[in-house]
Amino acid sequence: MKGYTYDKRVGEAVVIMYKQGLTQEDISKVIGLSTSTIARILHPERRLRDKEYGKNYTKDYQRRHLLKVKGKVIRVNKRERFGNTCELCGKVIRNRFHYHHWNDEHPEWGIWICGSCHKACHFVGKGLANKYLELRNSIEENI
C-alpha cells in the first residue's frame, strides 16, 4: 500500500494473525500500528469506496451549489431537480445533467436539461436559429 510506513511483510503478518482469529485491537498491540492502519491493511476495498464516495460528494455539491458566471465560479442555490428527465425534450438522463440559466443577476432561474438541449439553448440565444430558418427557407424556395 502506497503512502504508509509499514513493510509488506508486516502487512502479510497482519493478515495471517487476523486469519488465526486475533482481533484488530490485539494485532495493533502486538505489531504497534494503529487499529485504523490495521483496518486499511485488512480491508483495502473500504478505502477505495470511501475515496470514491468523497469524489461523488464533491461532484454532487458542485452540481447543486456552484455555477460559472462570466468566467467566475459563484455559489448559488440552484433550482431543485426532480426526476431524471430533461425538462425540455423529456429524454431520460442517467448521470450528466446541465444547468442552464439565462440571467446572470439571477442564476437560480434555470432549468435542468441534457447536453443536446443545452447546446440548442445557446444556439437559440445567439440568434442563430432564426438565421438557420431563413437560410433553409431561401434554399427551399430557390430549388
pLDDT tens sequence across 65-109: 666 666 666 666 677 777 888 888 888 887 788 888 877 777 778
Residues 111 and 74 in one domain: yes
Is residue 47 domain-resident? no
Q: How many domains in the chain? A: 2
More confident residue, 2 or 17: 17
Is residue 23 domain-resident? yes
Residues 85 and 24 in one domain: no
* pLDDT the model gives residue 40: 83
More confident residue, 132 or 65: 132
Is residue 98 domain-resident? yes
Residues 72 and 29 in one domain: no
Q: What is the pLDDT averaged over residues 28-32?
A: 87
Instruction: Name, in order, each residue with C-beta under 8 angstroms of 100's C-beta and a sequence gap of 6 or more.
Output: 110, 111, 113, 117, 118, 121
> How do residues 120-130 score in pLDDT, each as one tens digit?
888 777 777 77
For residue 132, pLDDT beyond 80: no
> How do residues 5-29 score in pLDDT, each as one tens digit?
566 788 888 889 989 999 888 988 8
Residues 71 and 133 in one domain: yes
User: Residue 14 is part of which domain span?
Assistant: 8-42
Is residue 58 domain-resident? no
Is residue 61 domain-resident? no
Residues 78 and 36 in one domain: no
HEC profile for 40-97?
HHHCHHHHHHHHHHHHHHHHHHHHHHEEEECCEEEECCCCCCCCCECCCCCCECCCCC
For residue 41, pLDDT beyond 60: yes
Residues 93 and 136 in one domain: yes
Q: How confident is the model at residue 3 (pLDDT cuts 50, 70, 90)?
A: very low
Residues 74 and 133 in one domain: yes
Residues 94 and 37 in one domain: no
